[in-house]
Each structure stands twice: as C-alpha cells, then as structure tokens.
Amino acid sequence: PHDLGIWDDEHVEFLRRITTFVHTQGAVAGVQLAHAGRKASTRRPWEGRGAVRLAEGGWSDVVAPSAIPFAEDFPEPRALSRTEIDALCDDFRNAAQRAIDAGFRVIELHAAHGYLLHEFLSPLSNIRTDEYGGSLENRARFTLRVVDAIREVWPADKPLLVRVSATDWADGGWNVEECVQLCRWLGEHDADLVDCSSGGIASDVRIPVSPGYQVPFARRIRHEAGIATGAVGMITEAGQAEAVIADGDADMVFMAREFLRQPHWPLLAAHELGATMAWPDQYDRARPR
C-alpha cells in the first residue's frame, strides 16, 4: 500500500517533476515496473512481516499464478484467469506509456525476487496446467508477453532492462540453466540488458551472501545467452566494481544499498579510480585534492 505507483494517469504529472529535476542535474531517470503478485498487501520492511489489514489500507484480492501464499503470514492469493493475464499485459503497456509521458528514459521490468513475473517462472509458485504453466516455454510466456507489450510503446532507442532472479536457491525451483534460456528469449524479444539478481521466491532458503556472490550469474548469462548483463549484490568498493567490468563478467554494475550508506559514492569512486568527474559547486571544496 505504500509503494510508489504508475497505474493511473494522475501519477504522470507528479513523476514528471522528479524526472525533470534529475535531468537538469545531468543524470538519467529510469523507472522500474513491477507487480508484487502474492507478495502484495504486505507491510513495509521496517514495520515487520505480515499482511496489511484492510482497515490499514491493505486489500483482500491478492493475485498470483497459483493459489499458493508466499509464507504463513502473507495473504493467500487467488490464481489469475487467462483474461486477467491478458489485462495485465495491457496494464504493463499502459504503464510504459505513462513512463514515456512522465519523462523516464530507461525502463527496468522487474521479473525477480518472488514478484508476479518471477512467480510465473518458478515451479515453486506456478503449478498451473494451462499454457502458462508446466514447461519452461509456458512458464516464460507471460514475461515475454509483457516485454512485447512494453516494446509496443517504448521506443527502440530507449533501453529496456529486465531484472531476473537467476536461481531460487531451492530444490525444484527456478535454476540458472532455465534462466539462461529465458535470457536468450528476452534478447529475441528486444530486451537490451538483464539485471542478474537471485532468490526471493521462497521464505525459508539460506542464500550464501558474500561480496560479489551474484557476479557469476551475470558472467554466465552474458556469455551463454548472448545478451548484455548487469551485476548486482554486495558490490560496494570502487575497485571491485571496476574489476567486474574489466574482467568481462558484466556490462554494467548495479548498486543500491551502498548509495543509501554513501550517497556520494560515485564521486569518491571516480577519484579513487583516477577518473575526472564534475562535483556540485557546493561540494567542490570537499573534493579530494
């Protein structure tokens, strides 16, 4: 209930205020399009786990490929019909059009971390027996349809990224081999780059987190699927990030939480790596000399 949205035309004007400011600062504004699926109507991380009650702004009609909840304290979802899947493809297309109208220049489609598109991909959350379940081709069908729907309105000269979970880290779940094939198809459907993350579909798995632990996924997908990749996860040092690119493991490095800890990380990294980068006038006196 507290997530930013782009599901209504009224959102465009206010999002455009953000993109306009970002672009005046010499940066590029991107938007991540996602549907939470069976993880919807849950609390913000700092409020603890569990469903948001209706009286607090939650909702009862949570949807997924199959009626399997993420965990005991999450809402029980309702399986989507074929007609509803068709409508969701239209919803993603409309969201992409709003992203254009709001001034965004990059779209990342979120098909990872146990949200709706990933739920269709993983056998742990998708037990459908129609054309959207069973074989890899069927489980990937919805994701590829959404990519096609976005490309109907998203210009060919603007990047379309797709975030994937390369593995569920769980027996019987989505695995790297299947993900490589999905990424081949994504390239054929005009996706430009795959952001290689992992996990999120199961609540009871232990992920072997360590510095750069997901870089091998980006490397394998880049070389075997023939599509550009981004590496993400526990990449915090400038030299570490530079090595990912220099060694050919990925085409980009994605960072998030380190920016929360160090908002000026790019300026400091540029200095450490000997690159020239303009500092804001107000901060220039603090630039290392």
List, edge to edge, every strand of the sheet that includes 228-232: 30-33, 106-111, 160-165, 193-197, 228-232, 252-254
Give all strands (DSSP E) within the chain, no chain letters. 30-33, 63-64, 78-79, 106-111, 160-165, 193-197, 228-232, 252-254
Tell me, yes or no, if 115 is annotated catalytic. Answer: yes
Residue 252 main-chain phi, psi, to 5 deg? -145, 160
Instruction: Identify any residues that bridge with 229 across adjacent strands, giving them in sequence order.
Output: 194
> How many Å apart are CA 139 and CA 121, to the nearest integer?
5
Catalytic residue among 115, 132, 213, 283: 115
If we measure between CA atoms, which residue out of 138, 130, 139 comes closest to residue 201?
A: 139
Q: Catalytic residues, which ones?
A: 115
